[in-house]
Amino acid sequence: MNFAIVGCGFIAKKHANAIKEVKNAKLVAVSDKISAAMNFYEREYNANPYTDLSEMLEKEDIDVVCICTPSGHHASLAVHVAEAEKHIILEKPIAMTLEETDRIIEAAEKNKVKLSVVHPNRYRPVVQEVRKILDKNLLGKISHVNATVNWNRNQDYYDQAPWRGTKQYDGGVLMNQAIHNLDLLLWFMGKPEQIFSMEATRLRNIEAEDVSTGLIKFRSGALGTVESATTVYQKNFEESITIFGEKGTVKIGGTNALHFEHVEIEGVPEAELEEIKEKIEEDPWGTPGHQWIVEDMVNAINEDRLPAVTGKDGRKAVELVLSFYESAKQNRPIQLTKEKEYANN
């Protein structure tokens, strides 16, 4: 499979390395409006550079395009790539609005291309173990959950590029940093029914929020709290998800939610749980999530199936973030509408 990358900023290097590590995948071209940004990919991967996306799509034999631009540009680029009938791996968030998100998904369906959104934390070893626990219903009825992202992004981080921290192209802590944690929360707990949120811009000189707190009521009846911030002094402090059930409690945590900080399950011997924890500690990151996503796309194309993380999954995370924003703006609870259905993606 021949891959191309659009947008040669920081995250593009993760995509390039993932493509390199996947059998039967090759990076053949890159596109960026700034020529110098593509030099690394020319040198390291022998990728052909293009400052014009249309030219690249026309001249190169490409199967999959990885879109790694600022979030506010995702919709126009993804629709363009879909109309060129190329499969798409799209960095998070899928888009900045639900209207843009739906345009992307509908363009992928219309042109019969596969669409995958980059939520790589699903592939971390500890996250996979939590999913197994929930799939087996080992915790029983869930009472409530906590999701936390308390990180540091100092002013220098936001000043690196003019789009960072803007509502149009980037979003705040919820849309940019916490969205991976929110994706996991939705993957574990299912559809939210009602949310309430408060947010503020306390310490960073940006347009969007740098701290947010929220409450969720899930369709199951379980309750959830969400705490997110980029204001923590002086470095990343915590990313965690805690699930409280009638038959057990599970907490994954650390600075990047890589470890079991607590796991206690009725009927499961402590020695068995310790063995699982120790196995995770041997390699907590596991195979990089971007590599899993690239490999899954190759397999999805060969097997003619949906990717593991679809456009619809990406939409769920964005819908939750936007509902938090709307609740904070109106200072009232928000009832989530019936989930939009798609034939594919």
CA pair distance 46, 23, nearest whole angstrom: 17
Phi and psi dihedrals of 114, rounded to 5?
Answer: -85, 145
pLDDT of residue 343 exceeding 90: no
pLDDT of residue 344 exceeding 70: no
Q: Are strands 223-229 and 238-245 parallel, antiparallel or unpaired?
A: unpaired
Give the residue from 244, 254, 297 showing the smallest Cα distance to 277: 254
- Claim to verify: residue 94 and residue 179 sit in the same structural domain: no
Per the structure, the complete domain to which residue 58 belongs is given by 2-121+290-308
What letter does residue 105 receive in the DSSP assignment?
A: H
The single-letter code of the amino acid at 151 is W
- Claim to verify: residue 110 and residue 57 sit in the same structural domain: yes
Q: What is the pTM of this model?
A: 0.94
Q: Are strands 223-229 and 142-150 parallel, antiparallel or unpaired?
A: parallel
- Claim to verify: residue 231 and residue 270 sit in the same structural domain: yes
Residues 6+ apart with CB under 8 A from 238: 148, 149, 150, 253, 254, 255
Other beta carbons less than 10 A from residue 100's beta carbon: 20
Other beta carbons less than 10 A from residue 319's beta carbon: 19
Burial 37-58 (b: 16+ CB within 10 A, else e): bbeebeeebebbbbeebeebbe
- Claim to verify: residue 104 and residue 165 sit in the same structural domain: no
- Claim to verify: residue 69 and residue 143 sit in the same structural domain: no
In a domain, 313, yes or no: no
CA pair distance 185, 179, nearest whole angstrom: 10
Give the residue from 156, 89, 149 showing the smallest Cα distance to 314: 89
In a domain, 273, yes or no: yes
Q: What residues form DSSP beta bridges with 2?
A: 26
- Claim to verify: residue 96 and residue 130 sit in the same structural domain: no
In a domain, 208, yes or no: yes
pLDDT category of residue 35 using cuts at 50, 70 and 90: very high
For position 338, what pLDDT does the model report? 64
- Claim to verify: residue 8 and residue 137 sit in the same structural domain: no
- Claim to verify: residue 276 and residue 297 sit in the same structural domain: no
pLDDT of residue 299 exceeding 80: yes
Across the chain, what does the average pLDDT equal?
96
pLDDT of residue 290 exceeding 60: yes
pLDDT of residue 313 exceeding 90: yes
* 216, two tokens: 């969720």
pLDDT, tens only, 63-107? 999 999 999 999 999 999 999 999 999 999 999 999 999 999 999
pLDDT of residue 309 exceeding 60: yes
Using only C-alpha atoms, the chain has a radius of gyration, in whole angstroms, of: 20
Residues 6+ apart with CB under 8 A from 283: 125
Give CA separation, 90 vs 11, 194, 244, 337, in Å: 11, 28, 33, 25
pLDDT, tens only, 212-242? 999 999 999 999 999 999 999 999 999 999 9
- Claim to verify: residue 64 and residue 179 sit in the same structural domain: no
For position 111, what pLDDT does the model report? 98
For position 132, what pLDDT does the model report? 97
For position 117, what pLDDT does the model report? 98
Phi and psi dihedrals of 100, rounded to 5?
Answer: -65, -40
Domain holding 299: CATH number?
3.40.50.720
Of residues 338 and 182, more confidence is placed in 182
The secondary structure of 189-246 as a DSSP string is H--EEEEEEEEE--SS-SSS-SEEEEEEEETTS-EEEEEEESB-SSS--EEEEEEEET
Q: Please tell me the total number of residues recorded for the chain in this structure.
A: 345
In a domain, 317, yes or no: no
Q: Are strands 26-31 and 48-50 parallel, antiparallel or unpaired?
A: parallel
In a domain, 333, yes or no: no
Other beta carbons less than 10 A from residue 281's beta carbon: 13
- Claim to verify: residue 180 and residue 274 sit in the same structural domain: yes
- Claim to verify: residue 273 and residue 165 sit in the same structural domain: yes
In a domain, 339, yes or no: no
In a domain, 323, yes or no: no
Q: How many distinct structural domains can be found in the chain?
A: 2
User: If you average pLDDT over residues 29-49, what whole number do you get?
Assistant: 97
In a domain, 164, yes or no: yes
pLDDT category of residue 339 using cuts at 50, 70 and 90: low
Alpha-carbon dihedral sign for residues 262, 267, 271, 273: negative
For position 337, what pLDDT does the model report? 75
pLDDT of residue 342 exceeding 70: no
- Claim to verify: residue 137 and residue 71 sit in the same structural domain: no
Domain holding 193: CATH number?
3.30.360.10
User: If you average pLDDT over residues 158-185, what whole number do you get?
Assistant: 96
* 59, two tokens: 């001249």
For position 341, what pLDDT does the model report? 55
